[in-house]
Structure formats: structure tokens, C-alpha cells
Amino acid sequence: MSVRPIVASINAPARQISSFLDELLTPIYNYVTKDITFINGIDVVRKLQEYQQQGYLTSTTLFIIFDVADLYTMIPRDGAIAALTRFCQKYVINGKIGNVKIDTIIKLACVVLDTNSFAYKDKYYRQIKGGAMGSPFTMVLANIYMLEWEQRLIQHQKIHHGIYGRYIDDVFMTTHLSKEEILKVLDETIKTDSNIKITTTINQSLEYLDVTIENNNGHLKTSIYHKSACEPYILPYESDHPRHVHANIIYTALVRAARLCSIVEDFDMERLSIEMILLVNGYPPKFIQRHMKSFFLKYDAMNVWTELNSEAYEQLHHKLLYKETRREIETKIQGKDNLIQKKKKYEHKDQIYLHYTFENGPLLNFKKEYRRIWEKYYLYPGSRFKNTRLILGTILNRTLQSLLIRKKPKRDMLTKMQPTAET
């Protein structure tokens, strides 16, 4: 029986070191790999649109996706440390990141990897391959290890004018080769590292992330992919949130649909699906129609809604597809000035966080009533709390499962010494 350890690492001895290494290395990795990393489905559609505009998409173009099995737990310790050393030597200036030397980074990485321990059936185990899935450092280490392995494929795609991009452990490629030829290329790459196992799909129509991608005789067609396990639940209309939050759900869903759907018919089907989901979650029809109309008026695209005008939709699709997402704006700011990223931790220091246990009954209106009292007695003219933001959060009651399942080793086990087993 194959067993995969999933170690949470929350409050683990090396947790702070893991977070420190993640903050140190991730910005460098993101900068180095910005051209071969997909951040979401929007990014994939943009790359495919450019690929088509450059004339590389033909009637014989194939799409390839492959998934790397057990990315976090498959990396060998020594191989990962060696890959990290080479990465730092290649991309770190003057042998330091800030005031931290490469040698110190490697020693800290070894500490994190060598302290992945857990208890199971009255025995201690130490994870000697891969990293804890709950450790911040594990992702960037696995990415660095993968970066070396995928160089052969990256160079192959550059030579043959193909797309190569990866989102964590999911890779997307395009090719003009036959299915047999590209499988041979993939097999040769797999042989370079026995630790990496992949599952491959090759076709002219497939799903990647949240996008369905189709090569329709040399014409690109994209739409939103809905996983079968995904249930149609969103924030209920009766929830105790400001109305602009519910309105923003409608706007965000329509923007996503317009970005990912390449033709107006697919967009309209997605719009109808959004309406149905909103109705199921208690949104009044008038509220839905008012905010949908507001969306189309904002982008001067009413004839997309009323007439399914293809030309108008093409303009709407292009405008929203290339509009920067919030994450892209934040990344750009951080890239220009890394100090801004550090300041963000302090820009909301005038905040008060209060948590209460959520229950049905009288407490359903607790949040609203508490805000009323706060505004009446603390936000009067001249109050020193005038610029203070009150944030109320709920704590869920413990479930029967959380009460009955033992998540920590027994106390007597923590005090007695036993030989450590390895896994």
C-alpha cells in the first residue's frame, strides 16, 4: 500500500524559518519564471490569443496538459538542496539576498527539511523525502526543483514556437508535432529524473485550470470550465453583508465570463448560469437585473445583452481580457518597490478585530446590532476612534468530528524517548 505523508507543520519548530525562506526566495523565483508561469485562467487565454495573432495556431496544432504527481512529496532531499544551491548561485547577486548569504540559506533549508516529523500509532516518523505540504517553503523549493527539470521542454518549445507554462503542478503546452512525436519528447524528459511522474493528455480540445480550450480548425475558442464536483453555492442574499458585496458578486462573475469566453453565445450561456445560481441563493430577480444592466451600461455593451451582437462582444472581451487584475496590479507595485510590500503589513494598524461564536437564533443579528452600538457611542464627532475600523468575525462551534478525533499525540508519548522511524 502506498502512503503519502501530509504534514501540516502549523506551529512546527521550523515554521518561522520556513516562512522566512519563502519570503526570501519566492520574489526571485517569480521574477525568473514570469514568462513560463500561469497565474490563472485569464493568463492562459491571453497567451493563446497572442499565439493565434502571431500565426502559430493552425488546424493541426495540438494542446498538451500534464499533471506532476505528488509534487511536494516527490522531491528528494539532496536533489532539492542541490537545485536550490544552483538556483541561488545563478540568480542571487553578490552571493547574498539582502544580508543573508547563500550558505546560510542552504543551512536553513536543511533545518526545515530535517524537522518534518509526525506521530502515527504511538510512533514518531521523520519525512526524509519531499517537504511538509503545510510548510510555506515547500512550494518554492518544489518549484525550484521543477524549474531545472523543465528546462529541456522550455527550450524545445522556444525553438518550435510553442507555448509552455506551469501553474504549480499543472503544465500546458502547444505543439505542431504529431501526438507520437511530442510523446517521445516528453518521455525523453521524464527519463532525466526518476522522481518525477506525470499524467498526460493530448488533444485539440481540453480543460486547463478553469478554461475549456478548443482548436476549431485553426480558430481558438475558449470558455469557462465548470468542474462536475463544483456546487452552485455563493454568498446567500440573506447573509449579513453590505449590499455592495452582493452586487460585486454579480459584477465579478460577469467580468470573469467576458474574459474567458471567446464567443458571445458561450458568454450568454454563462450569464444565464450566473442568473440561475443567484436565484438559487435567494437573490431577488429585480436586484439581479438591475446590477446586470449596470454592468453592460458601464462597458457600453447593452446590445451584447439584448441582441447578442458579436462585434460588440468581441470589443468587450478584448477590453476586459487585457484589463489588469487586482493581483497583477499588486505584483507590479511590489516589483517596482519592494518596500511597499513590507509597508502593507502596517497600513491597516487602526483596526479592531473582534470574534464571536456564531449561533442560530438571537445571535443572527448580533453583528448588525453591535455595529449600531459602535457607531452610536464611539463614532461621535471628535472621537479618537473616528478613523478606527471595526472588523467582526465569527468563530464556528466545534463539530462532533473535531471533538472526537485525536489530532495530537498522547501526553505520555511526548515525554518518553523512542527510536525514530523514517518514511
Domain boundary pick from 172, 195, 223: 223
Instruction: Give the chain's radius of gyration (CA, Å).
Output: 26
Structural contact between residues 112 and 9, judged by C-beta atoms closer than 8 angstroms: no
pLDDT value at residue 343: 40
Backbone angles phi, psi at 418, to 5 degrees: -140, 155
Evaluate whether residue 410 is within a structural domain.
Answer: no
- Give domain status of residue 385, yes or no: yes
Residue 60 inside a domain? The answer is: yes
Do 104 and 157 fall within a single domain? Answer: yes
Q: Where does 217-366 show beta strands of DSSP type E?
A: 219-224, 351-357
- CA 119/CA 2 separation, integer angstroms: 18
- Same-domain check for residues 54 and 89: yes
Residue 29 domain-assigned (yes or no): yes
pLDDT for position 403: 72
Tell me, yes or no, whether 335 lies in a domain: no
β-strand partners of 310: none
What pLDDT does residue 342 have? 40
Same domain, 22 and 166: yes
Q: Which three cell numbers stand for residue 358?
A: 456564531
Model pLDDT, residue 341: 42
- For cell 497600513, the residue is 347
The 3-class secondary structure across 229-260, one letter per residue, is: CCCCCCCCCCCCCCHHHHHHHHHHHHHHHHHH
Final residue of a domain: which of 223, 252, 284? 223
- Please state, in angstroms and rounded to a whole number, the distance separating the CA atoms of residues 90 and 29: 11
Q: Is residue 146 part of a domain?
A: yes
List pLDDT tens digits, range 111-136.
Answer: 999 988 777 777 778 888 888 877 89
Positions of the chain with pLDDT under 70 = 1-10, 330-349, 358-364, 396-398, 405-411, 413-423
| Within a domain: 339 | no
How many domains are there within the chain?
A: 3
> What domain range includes position 372?
351-404
pTM over 0.75: yes
Query: Are residues 208 and 123 located together in one domain of the fold?
Result: yes
pLDDT at 95: 87
198 with 79, same domain: the answer is: yes
Q: What is the pLDDT of residue 408?
A: 67
Instruction: Report the candidate in 127, 128, 131 with the shortest Cα–Cα distance to residue 70.
Output: 131
Same-domain pairing of 47 and 89 = yes
pLDDT score of 339 = 38
261 and 217 belong to one structural domain: no
48 and 131 assigned to the same domain: yes
HEC profile of 77-142: HHHHHHHHHHHHHHHCHHHEECCEEHHHHHHHHHHHHCCCEEEECCEEEECCECCCCCCHHHHHHH
33/179 same-domain check: yes
Do residues 306 and 370 both lie within one domain? no
SS3 412: helix
Same domain (yes/no): 134, 192: yes
User: 317 and 385: one domain?
Assistant: no
Helices (H) and strands (E) in the chain, counts: 18, 14
**336, part of any domain:** no
- 58, 22, 218: which is closest to 138 by C-alpha? 22
- Report the alpha-carbon distance of residue 156 to residue 153 in Å, rounded: 5
